[in-house]
Chain A
Amino acid sequence: MDIKFFFHVGRYFQMLRRVFARPERTKIYIRQLFREIDSLGVNSVWIVIIISIFIGGIMTIQFAYSMSNPIYPRTLIGLGTRDTLILEFSSTMLALIMAGKIGSNITSEIGTMRVTEQIDSLEIMGVNSAGYLILPKIVAVVFIFPFLFIISVFFGLLGGMVTGPLAGVISIPDYIAGIQWLFYPYYVTFSLIKSLFFGFIVASVPAYYGYYVQGGALEVGTASTKAVVNTNILILLFDLILTRLLLT
């Protein structure tokens, strides 16, 4: 681990300090927040629904395949699909996917503003550019992530319910009985907590890479790639830490 790592960590926290400084005009920040919820959150709903339906269906078939031994009750297929969706897919895997979609969007947007001097322009006007550009994005993504998690679980289960009978691996009543069997509401709480952390990482880390980019279009592209890779690593690291702290 070289000195560069500590440089980036230090600068990331310096940036956060500016991000959470008192806004110049709260009304404008709120207006920005609604824009970001729409562009980063609402526009992601369709991709979340599509991915979740397919993954729910695929998991149902795979569980059915690995539980083909008749001693296992068929309801286990529903249970397995449900728990995998709640505990891992709809929080962690979705965050990894969203890091690609939302994260690269944030880095390229802020990075382009940096290289075209729009950020300098804000600074010269006396605007806290980090706060104005990044705070609404962080709040929007942290706010929208739990909703995306719930949508993903719902459509994942729906995908399993449609695909299972169509593939002839489970009947609808068995599947529904399975997803209701041994349900622990704490799993949902656990994943909602995870989604808040992941939302923060998915917005703030790419924003950091965009905010400090130097050069031109090529560097913005490189920064986008770095942002997505490092966001994914951090998501997995925090997944491990939070699972250890909250689930064992």
Chain B
Amino acid sequence: MIEVKHITKSFDEVKVLNDISTRFEPGITNLIIGRSGSGKTVLLKSILGLYDIDQGEIWYNDRNLVELNEKERKKIRREIGMVFQGGALFDSFSVAANVRFPLDMFTTMSAKEKQKRVEFCLDHVEIQHTAHKLFPSEISGGMKKRVAIARAISLNPKYLFCDEPNSGLDPETATVIDKLIQNLTKEFHMTTIINTHDMNSVIEIGESVLFIAKGEVGWQGTHKEILHSGNNKLNDFIFANKLYAQLREEGDKPEQKQNT
């Protein structure tokens, strides 16, 4: 579980986050949504400790990140898996070497055990064995995201962070990635936080949705409630997409896409 209490963050006297409090539960997909520039990436990076917050508390179960020294923060970071927007795979490493890197760095596993773990993680994200030796420049955007997920889960993390995991992907592949993250979250009972502005993701996997507007909590609920929230700011965000505006008029809910 991750809980943030009253966090505030400013850049050059511009308040980007203002008194944000929320709780992210394990075993479900927690989504942070909002317009570009609303502060959702700053919130994510603050929770990760990449930005020092001005005020507030960030609890990883019973540890307050704000009060920890660098050594203790590193310990928490080893319990975190992160999927970046562009994948952030190491260009000079093959697919398998990318997934093996955290194991090389932080475990005392034998070469055989590492190999087994790498194969386990890559199988989980459905990467074919023939692709293990390819380099990031030789694989597609969707595969990069899947390898990034495999790398993120290689150390059995308690917490999984995803920053726009399906940006730049076609809708079909985006759905596959969403479902993959949701399934892994349930299988490994991780606390997963996904930063997105993709409404399809919200409808597909938004078991808990936090809407950020101008650095403040605008609304919080589930994907089942979101289309009928009655929150004007949230409605402006959702119904900017004509499909959802049409669905609202029809009083319907988007059909769940099939996992491909």
Residue ranges of A at the interface with B (Cβ–Cβ < 8 Å): 24-25, 28, 112-113, 116-118, 120-121, 123-127
A116 B105 Cβ-Cβ under 8 A: no
Judge whether B86 and A116 touch: CB under 8 Å. Answer: yes
- Closest Cβ of chain B to A191, distance in Å, is 33
**Whole-angstrom distance between the Cβ of B73 and the nearest chain A Cβ:** 8
Please state if B90 and A25 are interface contacts (CB–CB under 8 Å).
Answer: no
Known: A25-B105, A28-B105, A120-B84. A125 touches B50 (CB 8 A): no
Closest CB in chain A relative to B28 CB, distance in Å: 22
Least CB distance, B101 to chain A, in whole angstroms: 8
Q: Are A117 and B86 in contact (CB under 8 A)?
A: yes
What 5 pairs across the A-B complex have the smallest Cβ distances?
A: A126-B77, A121-B88, A117-B88, A126-B74, A117-B84
B5 → chain A closest CB, angstroms: 22
Please give, as numbers and ranges, the residues of chain A lying within 8 Å of B77 by CB-CB distance. Answer: 123-126
Find out whether the CB atom of A125 lies under 8 angstroms from the CB atom of B78: yes
Known: A24-B105, A24-B106, A117-B84. A124 touches B50 (CB 8 A): yes
Q: Which residues of A contact B86 (CB under 8 A)?
A: 116-117
Interface string of B99-138 (1 = CB under 8 A from A): 0011011100000000000000000000000000000000
Q: List chain B residues, Cβ under 8 A from A123.
A: 50, 77
User: What chain A residues lie within 8 Å of B89 (beta carbons)?
Assistant: 118
Please give the distance in Å from A133's CB to the nearest CB on chain B.
10
How many of B's residues come within 8 Å of A, CB to CB?
21
Kindly state the separation between the CA atoms of A118 and B78 in the bound complex, as whole angstroms: 16
Contact between A126 and B106 (Cβ–Cβ < 8 Å)?
A: yes
* C-alpha spacing A127/B102, complex, angstroms: 9
Q: Which positions 47-89 of chain B face chain A at CB distance < 8 Å? A: 48, 50, 74-75, 77-78, 80, 82, 84-86, 88-89
Q: Quote the shortest CB–CB distance from B105 to chain A (angstroms).
A: 6
Inter-chain contacts of A118 with B (CB < 8 A): 88-91
Q: Judging by beta carbons under 8 Å apart, are A125 and B84 in contact?
A: no
State whether A120 touches B104 (Cβ < 8 A): no
Contact of B102 among A117, A120, A125 (CB under 8 A): A125
Of B75, B82, B85, B90, the residue contacting A124 (CB under 8 A) is B82
B162 to chain A, nearest CB (A): 12
Whether A126 lies near B88 (C-beta < 8 A) is no
Question: Which single member of B50, B90, B91, B101 contacts A120 (CB below 8 Å)?
Answer: B50
In the complex, 16 of the A-B residue pairs with CB atoms within 8 angstroms, ordered by the A residue number, are A28-B104, A112-B91, A113-B91, A116-B91, A117-B86, A118-B91, A120-B84, A120-B88, A123-B50, A124-B80, A124-B82, A125-B77, A125-B102, A125-B105, A126-B78, A127-B105
Q: Give the nearest-CB partner of A127 in chain B.
A: B105
Residues of chain B contacted by A28 (CB below 8 angstroms) = 104-105
CB–CB B104/A121 < 8 A: no
How far does the alpha carbon of A117 sit from the alpha carbon of B83 in the complex, in Å? 10
Cβ-defined contact, B74 with A116, below 8 A: no
- Bound CA span A125–B98, Å: 12
> CA of A72 to CA of B95 in the docked complex: distance in angstroms?
66
Chain B residues with Cβ below 8 Å from A24 are 105-106
Structural contact, B82 and A121, CB atoms closer than 8 A: yes
**A120 to B75 CA separation, bound complex (whole angstroms):** 16
Complex formed: what's the CA distance from A120 to B82 in Å?
10
Given the known interface contacts A25-B105, A117-B84, A117-B88, the answer about A124 and B74 at a Cβ–Cβ threshold of 8 Å is: no
Residue contact A124 to B48, C-beta cutoff 8 Å: yes
Contact status A116-B88, CB under 8 Å = yes
